[in-house]
Amino acid sequence: MFGLPTQDEPIPFDELPLDDPLLFDEPAGVVIPDIEWSAIAPNLILMLGGILLLTVVSLVRGRTPSWFSAVWTISTAVFAGVTLVPLWQRVQDDGAESVMAGAIGLDGFSLFVTGVMCLSVVLGALLLEGYLRREGLAGPEWYVLLLLSASGGVTMASANDLIVMFIGLEILSVAVYVMAAMHSKRVSSQEAGLKYFVLGAFSSAFLLYGIAMVYGATGTTNLVGIQQFLSETVLTQNGLLLAGFAFMLVGFGFKVGAVPFHNWTPDVYQGAPSPVVAYMASGVKVAGFAGMIRVFVVTFGPTYGADWRPMVYALAMLSLVVGSFGAIVQTDVKRMLAYSSISHGGFILVAVAANSEAGTAAALFYLLVYTFMIAGSFGIVTIMGRTGDGLHALSDYRGLSKARPGLALLFTVFLLAQAGVPFTGGFLAKFYVINSSVSQGQYVLALIAMSAAVVAAFLYLRIVVAMYFDGNTYRGESATLAGPKVRIPAAAGVALGIAVVGTLWLGILPGQMTSVAGDAVAQLVAIGP
Amino acid sequence: MDLIWLVPALPLLGFLTLLVAGPRMGDPKSGWFATGAVAASFAVAVALFVDLQSMPEYERQVTQTLYTWMPSGSFEVSIGFLLDPLSSIMILFITGIGALIHLYSIGYMKGDPKFSKFFLYLNLFLASMLLLVLGDNLLLTFLGWEGVGVCSYLLISFWHTEPANATAGKKAFVTNRIGDAGFMLGTFLVFVTFGSINYADLRPAATGIAAVTATAIALLFFVGAIGKSAQIPLFTWLPDAMAGPTPVSALIHAATMVTAGVYLITRLNPIMAQAGWANDVIAWTGAVTALVAATIAVAQTDIKKVLAYSTVSQLGYMFMAVGTQTYVAGVFHMITHAFFKALLFLGAGAVIYSMAHEQDMRRYGNLRKYLPVTFVTFFVGWLAIAGVPPLSGFWSKDEILAGVFNYGAAGPALWVVGVLVAILTAFYMTRQLIMVFFGTEQWRGVAPVPAGAVLGASGAGAGDTAPEQEAESPTVQLGEGSDEPTAHDDHTGHGDHHLMPSHEPKEAPWTMLAPLVVLAGMAAIAGLMNLPFSDQFKRLEHWLYPMIVFENPLPEGPTLVGLAAVAIAAAVVGIWFAFFVYVKRRLDPARIELPILAEGWKIDSTYAAVVGGPGEATFQGVADADARIVDGAVNAVGRGSLGLGTLLRKLQTGLVRTYALGVAIGTVALLAFIVTRMNL
Amino acid sequence: MRVEMFTFLVTATIVLAGSLGVVLLRNPVHNALSLIGTLFGVAVLFIAQEAYFLAAIQVIVYAGAIVVLFLFVIMLLGVDKSESLRREPILGQRPAAIVAGVAILGLTLTALLSSAARVTGEQSVLAPLDPAVPDINRLGRVLFTEYIFAFEVTAVLLTIAVVGAVVLIRRAGDPIDLGEFPDGTMGDVLAARAAERNPTIDDAADEEAGLDETADDAAATDDAAATDDAAGGER
């Protein structure tokens, strides 16, 4: 199903004369696999960028200027993004391959997701810069964790081995647990971090258990190896493998905030520092979905699709319904956006449930668009929270159109994009997803997704109405924007600019990116059809 | 022919210019600029029409592709325009009436603080509407469809200082989103079935598809049409939409946007031809809507609400036509209706303007003496809508009735409904004419109606001065039941509705009267497009013929004449009866204007009760159940015995465990499912 | 009964008893000691599989270093602060958790026992462990060939753990409530908002107001990092 077959030998020591005792006396006899550094360059850059930053700021006497870390982080992410270009070219020319002894898949899919992760880091860092200064929080550690977390996400997305994927997921998550708790002046931030950590550890255990079961059933943790094994062998007893599916889905479902594993989302989003939420909602979800797609669609899709699809189907349905309906009654904008991100997750799950090339491409495109619009939305929330990051009630947005018309307009664009209004990226993203779903015959799911979008539109409208209309005659009094003056740090302004340009660009001229998403899916590390 | 793109581009250009320079241009320059943009677009439309006419009949289908919007994979969508007989005639009347209404608005909106913004929205609206009509594929039509929805929302809420107006806007938006879901699903189904969503590809392929699929597609698009064209059960937003400025009501909620549903069904007629009983559904929905709305219109006292319900009713007529596959008659009526209903709305706007934004017809009377031009033009509009020959409304209505009569077994029954509606239409329009332009001058020395005044026993109908409680506002907004909404076309700066006793109504400025005169002319003669006498008079039919796959043939000869006679009789009966009640006062109007009719059969309040009551409770319930999956007991115990803070702290600490439990339960569910898939 | 079976049964009992002790005992020190039992039992299981190196690591790292660290922390925080588990946190929570746990166990066992034949997939076992080849060699070989990336990338995870631990412990001071922010205006806004609300109708608003209260209380109890426990203990 997935393009060119490239099968790297998963177990290179097969060929080694293992029973030759002489070999073991000679350490030189161990053949260390070829490390192709260039193939993992983006990941390495993010990793080294983070660690170097940590080193530099520890060695420099006195405090580094606050912009230094932000600039460093952004340049690192951009640099990592630039290295994607030759790799992309290479993959498009020579096809996908697995590197690092089969542990890493170098393919269009991983490069695409890496690009989205870099974007999410850039946006997150831009938002963080002004935020840290406003809140009086010191520390390059935020940026270090951001970069390392992104490297974890990249590892996860490009992992061709379940162990590597799990480690990537932990790198990604642990860093985010810490970042969620890092606003040392807010109790709710620490509470959010703790909650996220406890529940995250709980779900990771499920994932690990699932991995162990799949290993037990197939005898390898290498994804291509698993795929090979499953395509060649008919399991007379598939209980172990299928139980592994269920457990792994719990782990991934938690990361992407799918109902019923979503409970943490509103609380954590509400409590965690807003720029971190921007990264959490975009980067973490992107990586989570990338892992899920690589495991379920790419690896198990061709052979066991019929078994896992109903589960994803159910998760998608629940996420859409709970996400849309739950959002309606919230009064806190961060919680609203949390529920809406659950609903978006449901949409992407619809694409995953399609279990097709078109579905995967739709999911990739959705993730890209989603990163722009959700990071933009939380960027606005970051700015609107004002000192203390606490003004997030819907009523705090009342009259924003009068006080900061530009900000209100930007937020409107992001919200309309989330609602799926044409000529914004959100429309096409939803469109492709539903299209992929309908072409797989999932009419009911498509119908539910459409209806959920309708219900969710009401939520976005509520925020827009609060910003524009309620300002004039709320309870008879002319309400102006309450609270301290809204200041837009330059960096955050840049972030919002990038986000809005991205959102509109993908809505008006999506051709380029949809074909890139299509090419990304055409080049996947997998065995042939 | 290469200029097709200019038609929507010119209003769009107007929109963009006003967006940048609107406030600087100010009042009235920005209005003139916007009008110019639309007029230029009209000129292009005329040129295109002439061009198209010069082509051979079967080549009249020109596609212009600007660029490929979504190129990836098999799903290719272009930004392309399709000019064919249907779209060419649509853009003609859209830009024509649009230009007139723009001109009218210059006078009507004079002095409004958001003058340029109004024209900005109007231009955007027209650009979207033209995109809707000209789009060469379903998705592009959908974009226009969404665009007109958004503009409609913005314009209804234009004077959003009134909470009622903002909620009416919201209501229109949400109702339309329901319809949009149908449209989108229909589009996907079309793509799955045909592998393309271009209109040009649909027609040749449509004959080969299964009846079930065609029926499903037809019904999905009809759901979309119901929302946009205000049919039962989604019609309640349209009367509320009268909260917007009157030119908006004329342009969007009478002439153009609301007919988009009829356009869509006509455009998809190749699929409809295969769709079997879906056509019956459309026809009957139209018939029931026409009847229900007409009965409601009988009891309205707000000048714009009568027209709003009348629009709903006439749209029902059009759906009856396209449902019985009498597409030519449907399009014909759509055009004539656009003329006379725009005329009536603008006339009503002129009256409202002259009466300092008073909208209650019971406070009008004898205005013909003061507003002669308005009166004459309104009179023409009245003749047209009532179906008096030889004005345009008669011909199109007669053609619909004839077509409906000929439609299989259900035809006569539908026809009876149609005739009933025709009688009612003539009746309520005559009632309106009498209440507004004849009778005694109710506006002299009328004190403002005190709130909560006792319902007066009205014995003399139009001549009755007893202040009645404003029971005619049946609207309750979604979720916000406490607001007392009214449809009054009102905004700050016109706070007082009531004229000083010494004040006498004066004619509106020429910018408002000129469109009235032009529209009155069109309303009178538009019937010439398609006269039933002989083949050579059926110009519209010949023009549309190449793009309609199956057309229900009209009856011939004596039947046709007989049906026409009945149609004329219906108009006469309706007018006579209104005369009987409101002029002769032989019958107490209170016996006709039943409260249940005034409240719109309580349909709206029922919706509001459902959405606001159980509906909202459901939303709340979902959120509650979600936020506290298993802790219903906490509420019971906590609220009773502990302080709120303690309770919430308890919740806070409990939640991690509760959430973990949620994860565990989810795991159990997944495992339970997967065990059933195992071959043990 | 063969020796392996006997060893397994005894060790498995120890492992299970130890983990139950971790969950059920009330004194934290007892919990930690039970954990040692479990970890030690696992080490014995490793030996039964002839994985001597792993067994040694298990004892040294887990049973030795990590649990001892736990004990240190418990002692430093005060051993007498045992948490009562008698308190029912949320009505119905515990039975529901038990039911869910049993269900997961049952369903997993169904899966595992049904497919016993497939648990040792042939791919995983290349050859029975050769006593001539020390398992340490084997392990090292795998770590530096097949799992080299996983092995190396774990370093990042450890870095994050260190950075995170340092960051979270190094505090500027106690967390403060929103109202105490230097510019002060935030407090006014929040107070005004609280006053504006009608507590009986606006349920969601209450919840938020209550959340602030929680924050207040928790901040007062000086151990805000462990909000979960702190707030629980207070009750």
Put simply, the answer to whether B160 touches A472 (Cβ < 8 Å) is: yes
Is B645 found in the same domain as B512? Answer: no
Contact predicate B129/B94, CB 8 Å:
yes
- Dist CA A116 CA A369 (whole Å): 9
pLDDT for C122 beyond 90: no
Distance in Å, alpha carbon of C142 to nearest chain A alpha carbon:
9
Residues B204 and B59 in one domain: no
User: Is residue B381 domain-resident?
Assistant: yes
Higher pLDDT, C140 or A481: C140
Token duo for residue C20: 């139950």
Q: Is residue B144 in a domain?
A: no
Report phi then psi at B41, rounded to 5.
Answer: -60, -40
Is there a contact between B659 and A264 if contact means CB atoms under 8 Å apart?
yes
Cα gap A414→A454, rounded to integer Å: 16
Contacts of B142 in chain A (CB under 8 A): 422
Q: Which of A193, A194, A240 sits opposite C111 (nearest CB)?
A: A240
H or E element that contains B189: helix B163-194
SS3 (DSSP) at A29: helix
Residue A472: list chain B partners with CB under 8 A.
160-161
What is the pLDDT, as a whole number, of residue A456?
Answer: 81
Q: What pLDDT was estimated at residue B497?
A: 44
Task: Decide if A527 is inside a domain.
Answer: no
> C220 versus B246: which is more confidently predicted?
B246
Which of B575, B598, B621 marks a domain boundary? B598
Do the chains contact at A461 and B670, CB–CB below 8 Å? no
Cβ–Cβ gap B670/A311 under 8 Å: yes
Residues B567 and B635 reside in one and the same domain? no
Are C101 and B667 inside 8 Å of each other by CB?
no
pLDDT at B608: 66
- Other CB atoms within a 10 A radius of the CB of residue B309 amount to 28
Domain that holds residue A150: 12-522
The ranges of chain B with pLDDT < 70 are 1, 70-75, 160-174, 445-503, 601, 604, 607-655, 680
Could you give the CA distance from residue B431 to residue B583 in angstroms, rounded to a whole number?
9
Cross-chain Cβ contact A199/B659 below 8 Å: yes
The closest of A80, A153, A60 to A122, measured between CA atoms, is A80
The domains of chain C, with CATH numbers, are 1-84 (1.20.120.1200), 130-170 (no CATH), 178-234 (no CATH)
B311-367 confidence digits (pLDDT tens): 999 999 899 988 888 888 889 999 999 888 889 988 888 888 887 777 777 777 777
Q: Domain for residue B625, yes or no?
A: no
Record: contact C115-A51, CB cut-off 8 A:
no
Note the pLDDT of residue C75. 81
Same domain? B104 vs B163:
no
Quote the pLDDT of residue A178: 92
> Quick one: closest CA in A to B620, which residue?
A329
Q: With CB atoms and an 8 Å threshold, state whether B672 touches C107.
A: yes
Q: Do B637 and B575 have their domain in common?
A: no
Q: Is the pLDDT of residue C10 over 80?
A: yes
Domain assignment present for B615: no
Residue A75 lies inside a defined structural domain of this protein: yes
Containing H/E element for B65?
Answer: strand B62-70
CA distance B478 to chain C (A): 18
> Higher model confidence: residue A152 or residue C143?
A152
Residue A254 domain-assigned? yes
Of B72, B139, B146, the CB nearest to A518: B72
Q: Please, which residues 160-189 of chain C have a Cβ atom closer than 8 Å to chain A? A: 160-161, 163-164, 166-168, 171-173, 175-178, 181-183, 185-186, 189
To the nearest whole angstrom, how far is the Cα of A217 from the nearest Cα of chain C?
5
First-last CA distance in chain C: 53
Count of domains forming chain A: 1
- E strand residue ranges, A53-189: 97-99, 104-106
CA atoms within 13 A on the CB side of B25: 21
pTM of the predicted model as reported, rounded to 2 decimal places: 0.77
Give residue C124's pLDDT: 46
Do the beta carbons of residue A259 and residue B659 sit within 8 Å?
A: no
CA-to-CA distance for A267 and A192, rounded, in angstroms? 7
Query: Does one domain contain both B186 and B225?
Result: yes
Residue B604 in any domain: the answer is no
DSSP assignment of A170-216 equals: HHHHHHHHHHHT--TT-HHHHHHHHHHHHHHHHHHHHHHHHHHHHHH
Q: Identify residue B153 by its one-letter amino acid code.
A: Y
Chain centroid offset of residue B142 CA: 16
- Pick the residue of A325, A365, A460 with the most B CBs within 10 A to test the interface with B by mutation: A325
Does residue B603 lie in a domain region?
no
* B454 found inside a domain: no
Nearest 10 degrees: Cα torsion C55, C60, C61, C64: 130
B672 vs C103: CB contact, 8 Å cut-off?
yes
Does residue A2 belong to any structural domain of this protein? Answer: no
Pick from B647, B543, B567, B521: which is nearest to B397 by CA?
Answer: B567
Shared domain for B263 and B349, answered yes or no, is yes
Domain that holds residue B29: 1-136
CA distance B224 to B222: 5
DSSP codes, B662-673: HHHHHHHHHHHH
Tokens standing for residue A90 = 């290479």
- What whole-number distance in Å separates Cα of residue B157 and Cα of residue B168? 7
Q: What residues in C contact A215, CB-CB < 8 Å?
A: 121, 124
Of C115, C120, C226, Cβ closest to residue A239: C115
For residue C111, give the nearest of A174, A184, A239 by CB distance.
Answer: A239
Residue B535: burial class (beta carbons within 10 Å; 0-12, 13-18, 19+): exposed
Q: Contacts of residue B157 in chain A, CB cutoff 8 Å?
A: 469
Among the partner residues C110, C160, C172, nearest to A239 by beta-carbon distance: C110
* Of the partner residues B75, B174, B674, the one whose CB lies closest to the CB of residue A245: B674
User: Looking at the 3D structure of chain B, how many domains does it have?
Assistant: 3
Find the distance separating the first CA and the last CA of chain A, reported in whole Å. Answer: 5
pLDDT at site B464: 35
Q: Give me the residue from C149, C182, C215 closest to A103, CB to CB.
A: C149
> For residues A368 and A361, what is the distance between their CA atoms, to the nearest angstrom?
11
Burial class (CB in 10 A: 0-12, 13-18, 19+), B74: exposed
pLDDT at C207: 41
Q: Does B660 touch chain A (CB under 8 A)?
A: yes
Task: Answer yes or no: do A263 and B146 touch at CB < 8 A.
Answer: no
C-alpha to C-alpha distance for B73 and B70, rounded to whole angstroms: 9
Contact B667 C104 (CB under 8 A): yes
CB-based contact C208 A194, cutoff 8 Å: no
Whether residue B644 and residue C206 make contact (CB cut-off 8 A), yes or no, is yes
- Residue B23 and residue B98 in one domain: yes
Whether B677 has its CB under 8 Å from any CB of chain A: the answer is yes
Does A390 lie at the interface with C, CB-CB under 8 angstroms?
A: yes
Residue B605 in domain: no
User: How many Cα atoms sit within 13 Å of B636 on the Cβ side?
Assistant: 7
Tens of pLDDT, residue by residue, chain A (529 residues): 444 334 444 445 455 545 554 444 445 456 777 788 888 999 999 999 999 999 998 888 777 787 889 999 999 999 999 999 999 999 988 888 888 888 899 999 999 999 999 999 999 999 999 898 888 887 788 999 999 999 999 999 999 999 999 999 999 999 999 999 888 777 788 888 888 998 999 999 999 999 998 988 888 889 998 988 888 877 777 888 889 999 999 999 999 999 889 888 888 998 899 999 999 999 999 999 999 999 999 999 888 989 999 999 999 999 998 888 777 777 788 888 998 999 999 999 999 999 998 899 999 999 999 999 999 999 999 998 888 787 888 888 887 877 888 898 899 899 989 988 777 888 889 888 988 888 888 888 888 888 888 778 777 877 887 787 654 544 444 556 777 788 888 899 999 999 999 999 998 888 888 888 888 888 787 765 4
- How near does any CA of chain A get to the CA of B615, in Å? 11
Cα R_g (chain A), whole angstroms = 23
Annotate B645-663 with DSSP letters as a single string. HHHHHHHHHHHHHHHHHHH
* Half-sphere exposure (Cβ direction) of A406: Cα atoms closer than 13 Å: 8
B115 within 8 A of B103, measured Cβ to Cβ: no
**Residues 147 through 166 of chain A touching chain C, CB cutoff 8 Å:** 148-149, 151-152, 155, 161, 163-164
